[in-house]
């Protein structure tokens, strides 16, 4: 009776690869559920104390440790920043220890990045909220994902975003700084010039905030599902 996808690009893929009926496809975006919190309102954040109490500056990548999440791309960029430019940039990784975790740990040690990367497992929403609020930017070099919850979470927390080039749905591409996954030096250049491009980031942050409010508010998502359910109710009423 109906198919649900979260982007125009996925709808096009369904039609192209599965010969789906476009009239059955409903585009309803993903809806992040993480809200801003005040640290003083929370009693126990032992996992994050070492990081937050020292006011360490860091970039953030919340993703399971799967190979397609491409943490290795970030490691290569950090290695170059350290060896060629004597810059030590900090990152926070967080997610379940999936199949690529041991390899990422191995390469982190091999590249001498132990002091620059904070590894966390799966965290509570409140902890993720704090990490977003205190990070410099979201960096997401994933090999798949026309959209993602971290992308929309960064919209909500009004953070700059680095995202895989030519991957996102077209409606989202102008809201991020795209990074070339075939060239780690592209991330090296963009992170090195991060402070010099704050005005550009501010413009994109405003656009992303407007996008969130116009497309991802509770009311907008609720209305989309209500519309779909009403359509399904009608369709199921035409037969016994």
Of 126, 132, 69, the residue nearest 96 (C-alpha): 69
What's the CA gap between 231 and 157, in Å, rounded?
Answer: 34
CA 34, distance to chain mean position in Å, is 13
Of 175, 173, 170, the residue nearest 159 (C-alpha): 175
Sign of CA pseudo-dihedral 110, 136, 161, 156: positive
Residue 40, CA distances (Å) to 17, 60, 130, 134, 225 in order: 50, 22, 11, 14, 36
Tens of pLDDT, residues 147-205 = 999 999 999 999 999 999 999 999 999 999 999 999 999 999 999 999 999 999 999 99
- pLDDT above 70 (res 9): yes
Tens of pLDDT, residues 126-149 = 899 999 999 999 999 999 999 999
Report the pLDDT value the prediction gives residue 210, as an integer from 0 to 100: 97
Residue 57's Cβ-count burial label (10 Å; 0-12, 13-18, 19+) is exposed
Of 96 and 41, the one with more pLDDT: 96
Report the pLDDT value the prediction gives residue 196, as an integer from 0 to 100: 92
What's the CA gap between 79 and 59, in Å, rounded?
Answer: 15
DSSP 3-state assignment of 236?
A: helix
- pLDDT above 60 (res 42): no
Report the pLDDT value the prediction gives residue 55, as an integer from 0 to 100: 84
Distant-in-sequence, close-in-space partners of 91: CB < 8 Å, separation ≥ 6: 58, 59, 60, 61, 74, 78, 116, 117, 118, 139
Which of the residue ranges 41-55, 164-178, 216-230 would you say has the lowest mean pLDDT? 41-55
pTM: predicted TM-score of the whole model, two decimal places: 0.92
Kindly state the average pLDDT of the residues 46-59. 84
Report the pLDDT value the prediction gives residue 39, as an integer from 0 to 100: 60
Which of the residue ranges 26-40, 54-68, 170-184 would you say has the lowest mean pLDDT? 26-40
Report the pLDDT value the prediction gives residue 40, as an integer from 0 to 100: 57
Kindly state the average pLDDT of the residues 51-75. 94
- Which residues on adjacent β-strands are paired with residue 165? none
Distant-in-sequence, close-in-space partners of 45: CB < 8 Å, separation ≥ 6: 39, 52, 126, 127, 130
Of 187, 193, 177, the residue nearest 77 (C-alpha): 187
What's the CA gap between 158 and 160, in Å, rounded?
Answer: 7
DSSP 3-state assignment of 193?
A: coil
What's phi and psi for 239, nearest 5 deg?
-145, 165
| CA neighbours closer than 13 Å in the CB half-sphere of residue 14 | 18
Q: How many CB atoms lie within 10 A of CB 210?
A: 12
| CA neighbours closer than 13 Å in the CB half-sphere of residue 34 | 22
């Amino acid at each position: 009776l109906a198919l649900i996808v979260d982007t125009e690009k996925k709808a096009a893929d369904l039609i192209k690869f599965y010969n789906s009926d476009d009239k059955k496809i409903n585009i309803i975006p993903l809806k992040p559920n993480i809200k801003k919190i005040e640290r003083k309102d929370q009693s126990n954040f032992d996992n994050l104390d070492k990081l937050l109490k020292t006011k360490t500056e860091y970039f953030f990548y919340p993703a399971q440790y799967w190979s397609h999440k491409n943490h290795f791309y970030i490691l290569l960029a950090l290695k170059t920043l350290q060896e060629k430019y004597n810059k030590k940039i900090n990152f926070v990784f967080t997610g379940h220890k999936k199949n690529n975790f041991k390899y990422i740990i191995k390469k982190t040690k091999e590249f001498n990045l132990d002091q620059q990367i904070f590894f966390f497992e799966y965290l509570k929403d409140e902890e993720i909220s704090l990490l977003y609020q205190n990070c410099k930017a979201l960096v997401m070099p994933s090999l798949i994902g026309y959209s993602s919850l971290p992308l929309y979470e960064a919209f909500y927390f009004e953070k700059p975003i680095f995202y895989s080039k030519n991957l996102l749905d077209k409606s989202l591409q102008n809201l991020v700084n795209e990074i070339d996954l075939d060239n780690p030096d592209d991330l090296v250049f963009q992170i090195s010039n991060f402070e010099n491009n704050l005005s550009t980031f501010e413009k994109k942050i405003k656009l992303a905030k407007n996008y969130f409010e116009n497309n991802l508010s509770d009311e907008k998502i609720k209305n989309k599902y209500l519309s779909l359910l009403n359509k399904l109710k009608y369709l199921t009423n035409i037969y016994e």
